[in-house]
């Protein structure tokens, strides 16, 4: 067992699961989407990105790209949330909530690709 691989896999999967947890629920209902979960998704996703830095392999490069996409989508979701609540004071209307959740849905897709690539790499290693 390789501790570095465990930590690496842990954060990639955690980014996926937390993101999924936030995404789950009715798309325009603020009660189904917890802000703490979005926060956790952002932090875990950032950590996963940094862990992928400096990989020289082709698969490493694609993993890093997927992670950067997820970061971008989640940060965009957080910015939309902050603008709606604090700047324009529109509040979490169904329209705002739907756009936040759909942004996080995009991030979920990127995280899924990450996890799939990680699985593919692990399987192809055969040891």
Least separation in angstroms between CB 43 and another protein: 4
Closest to another protein by CB, 2 vs 56, is 56
Which string of DSSP letters, residue by residue, matches 84-107? IIIIS---S-HHHHHHHHHHHHHH
Among 3, 36, 88, 124, binds another protein (CB under 8 A): 36
Instruction: Give the closest residue to 20 by CA, choosing from 124, 126, 109.
Output: 109
Least separation in angstroms between CB 15 and another protein: 13
Residue 55 in the binding site for another protein (CB under 8 A)? yes
Instruction: Give the closest residue to 40 by CA, choosing from 74, 84, 91.
Output: 74
Cα 47 to Cα 90: distance, rounded to the nearest angstrom: 32
Instruction: Give the closest residue to 68 by CA, choosing from 101, 114, 99, 103.
Output: 114
Closest to another protein by CB, 90 vs 116, is 90
Closest to another protein by CB, 47 vs 98, is 47
**Chain residues that interact with another protein, rule: CB under 8 A:** 35-36, 39, 43, 46-47, 50-51, 53-56, 78, 81-82, 85-86
């Amino acid at each position: 067992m390789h501790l570095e691989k465990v930590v690496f896999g842990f954060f990639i999967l955690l980014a996926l699961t937390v993101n999924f947890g936030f995404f789950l629920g009715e798309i325009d209902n603020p009660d189904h989407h917890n802000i703490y979960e979005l926060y956790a998704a952002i932090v875990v996703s950032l950590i996963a990105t940094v862990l992928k830095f400096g990989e020289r392999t082709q698969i490493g490069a694609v993993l890093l790209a997927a992670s950067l996409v997820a970061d971008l989508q989640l940060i965009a979701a957080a910015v939309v949330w902050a603008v709606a609540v604090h700047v324009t004071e529109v509040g979490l209307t169904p329209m705002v909530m739907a756009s936040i959740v759909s942004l996080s849905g995009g991030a979920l897709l990127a995280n899924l690709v990450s996890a799939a690539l990680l699985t593919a790499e692990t399987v192809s290693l055969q040891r």
